[in-house]
Structure formats: C-alpha cells, structure tokens
Structure 1
Amino acid sequence: MPCREFDTPAGVDAKYAELVEAGHRGIAEPFDAFWGMHHTTVADPDSGSVGLYAVLPAS
C-alpha cells in the first residue's frame, strides 16, 4: 500500500475529507495509532488503497 506523509495530523484530516468529498471511499477514519502516527486509509481508483499519515507530536 503506498503511503503519503503529512507534516501535521490536521493535514491528514484535511486530505481525507477532501478525498472523501471527491467521491473516494474512506476505508478507515483518521485515528491516532499506538505506534505514534495519526493514520487513515482511502481507496484508490485502481481498487487498491493509500495510507495517509503524520507523526504525532511527542507528549
């Protein structure tokens, strides 16, 4: 699965919303993963999927 990194979790959320609004199917809503990333997955037009993520800020 190809992935695209964003600078911030808000960037991931914005791109997810943009892609779903454009008609792409969201596979997983954006979430904070235990491995330290804000992550989501969207279906691509070729029946695959694309991961979108940003590293979560250190707490």
Structure 2
Amino acid sequence: MWQSGPRRLWGEVLAAYLGWRERGAPEVGRFGLAVDRSGQRVWFDGPQGEVWAVPAEG
C-alpha cells in the first residue's frame, strides 16, 4: 500500500472498520453525525453515547 497527501486515508478506513468489528458489526442506524459551530462528531448509540471528532480537512 502506498499513500500520499496530508491524510493517510487507508489507515483511517482500517481503524473505522476495526472499530465497527469490535462493536459487533452494528447496524448503520446506530451511528449518526452531529454538526454545530464547534465542529463535526460521529456518534454511536445516540449523541450521548460514544463520540469521535471528525478531522478537519486542509
């Protein structure tokens, strides 16, 4: 695998996949996206559940 650019996208895809598998391969409806002035966050099992910040582009 060869990557270039400011982000290592394959590493991000692999981390997301492994995290999904570790959680038992849950249905897509258990994930969501929150967007406000402070940024973007992906959540699992509701906005009060597990949350990840979305990296800023640029």
Asked if TM exceeds 0.5, the reply is no
Which is richer in strand?
1
- Work out which structure has the larger RCO, using CA pairs closer than 8 Å and 6 or more positions apart in sequence: 1
The structure whose Rg is larger is 2
Which is richer in helix?
2
- Relative to the length of structure 1, the TM-score reads 0.38
- Relative to the length of structure 2, the TM-score reads 0.38
